[in-house]
Amino acid sequence: MRTTSRCRAAARMIAAIGVFSLVAACAGNGGTTGGGATSGGYPDQNITFVVPFSAGGPTDTVTRMLAEPMAAKLGGKVVVQNVEGAGGTVGAGEVARADPDGYTVLMHHIGMSTAPALYQNLGYKPLEDFEMVGLVTEVPMTVVARKDFAPATLKDLVTHVKANADKVTLANAGIGAASHLCGLLFQSAAGVKLQEVPYEGTGPALTDLVGGQVDFMCDQTTNTSGQISAGEVKAYAVTTPERVKSLPDVPTTAEAGLPQLQVSVWHGLYVPKGTPQEVVQKLSEALKTALADQKVIDQMAKLGTAPVTAENATPQAHRAKLEEQLGTWAKVIADAGVKAS
């Protein structure tokens, strides 16, 4: 994404994007805002954080939490842009092909490690086409349903979907999304194949769940906590070994009788391969600073998660995690026999 096209895109999307510390985007100077202290010349123009899912969903929420403290540390401006589609692979592909100058940054999650096993022509290679900046957070998922859905517990849900496999609808954010992966694990644990309803993010999927248009789904606590606490959706379980502090009444999948359903959604920041190491380091330092910000820690805690440690907010730890996860999910997905068409 070159500066001029970034500016045109920013102008088009001004109503749909969040701008953090933005003073004068693209003001007749090739996109340079001219604001903020810079060291080594970076940043001297807006940095775009690409979210590969819809606005208002969990990946978007975490990105917007970090945008402001990272912009402050970098001494620059951060614009959040949602580039949705195909389970996060459209946005990831766009960043893989962007100029490697540190001005296009991707926030992605576990989907970075599942997509290669699901898509035959992904168009990017996670380990080869990106520089890793650092891990961000690891978020539990919840299994949630519309509030008037008949099953009362996770065990009832399994019984119900088995008896009504042709009627029950399972929402997700497209093939390769965390919700898709969790849905696969659920179906495999329950021994059933359901009708899946793909969205461009679980923000809109949750809206439809609350509205009763779909029956159930898995999603991060960063999206579902508010609706669970408000009783707008029914929560069956959290997908982690321990209960989530902010949702003390929701049992774990193991407690609820489905111990095979375990997944937590790790997030990381990426820039295109070839981005100067000095820039990657600056982004990583800014990430560490943002993750240590008490406001971020408190916001995350309210939504059932926490920042990773400073050692994990590094390119090295991020690369190691991605390598390990690519291997883990390739096997699970091959065993499940799933492919994107």
State in angstroms the smallest separation of the CB of 294 from ligand ASP: 24
Query: Which uninterrupted H or E stretch holds 55?
Result: none
Considering only the stretches 42-50, 56-64, 72-80, 286-294, report the one whose residues sit in contact with ligand ASP under the rule CB under 6 A.
56-64
Considering only the stretches 9-17, 51-59, 95-103, 162-170, report the one whose residues sit in contact with ligand ASP under the rule CB under 6 A.
51-59
Q: Which of 33, 46, 137, 202 binds ligand ASP (CB under 6 A)?
A: 202
SS3 of residue 240 by DSSP: coil
The burial of 294, by beta-carbon neighbours within 10 Å (0-12 exposed, 13-18 middle, 19 or more buried), is given as exposed
Considering only the stretches 35-43, 54-62, 254-262, 329-337, report the one whose residues sit in contact with ligand ASP under the rule CB under 6 A.
54-62
> Given the structure tokens 């390119």, which residue do they identify?
315
Residue 214 near ligand ASP by CB under 6 A: no
Considering only the stretches 14-22, 114-122, 163-171, 196-204, report the one whose residues sit in contact with ligand ASP under the rule CB under 6 A.
196-204
Write out the binding residues for ligand ASP, residues 103-122 only, by CB under 6 A.
Answer: 111
Q: Which is nearer to ligand ASP, 280 or 296 (CB)?
A: 296
* Number of Cβ within a 10 Å radius of residue 152: 11
d(CA 56, CA 69): 19
d(CA 157, CA 192): 12
Q: Is the dihedral of CA 201, 127, 318, 183 positive or negative?
A: positive
State in angstroms the smallest separation of the CB of 107 from ligand ASP: 9
SS3 of residue 89 by DSSP: helix
Site string for ligand ASP, 216-235 (x = CB under 6 A): ---xx---------------
Q: Which of 201, 268, 304, 307 binds ligand ASP (CB under 6 A)?
A: 201
Residue 102 near ligand ASP by CB under 6 A: no
d(CA 250, CA 99): 44
How far from the centroid of its chain's Cα atoms is residue 71's Cα?
20
Q: Which is nearer to ligand ASP, 175 or 280 (CB)?
A: 175
State in angstroms the smallest separation of the CB of 268 from ligand ASP: 14
Site string for ligand ASP, 148-187 (x = CB under 6 A): ------------------------xx---xxx--------
How far from the centroid of its chain's Cα atoms is residue 88's Cα?
8
Considering only the stretches 68-76, 126-134, 150-158, 199-207, report the one whose residues sit in contact with ligand ASP under the rule CB under 6 A.
199-207
β 169-172/195-198 pair status: parallel
Q: Of all residues in this chain, which one has the CB nearest to ligand ASP in the complex?
A: 57
Q: Which is nearer to ligand ASP, 88 or 307 (CB)?
A: 88
d(CA 77, CA 70): 9
8 A C-beta contact, residue 326 and residue 111: no
d(CA 75, CA 282): 11
- Within 13 Å and on the Cβ side, how many CA atoms surround 310? 6
The residues that touch ligand ASP, with contacts defined as CB under 6 A, are 53-54, 57-60, 111, 172-173, 177-179, 201-203, 219-220
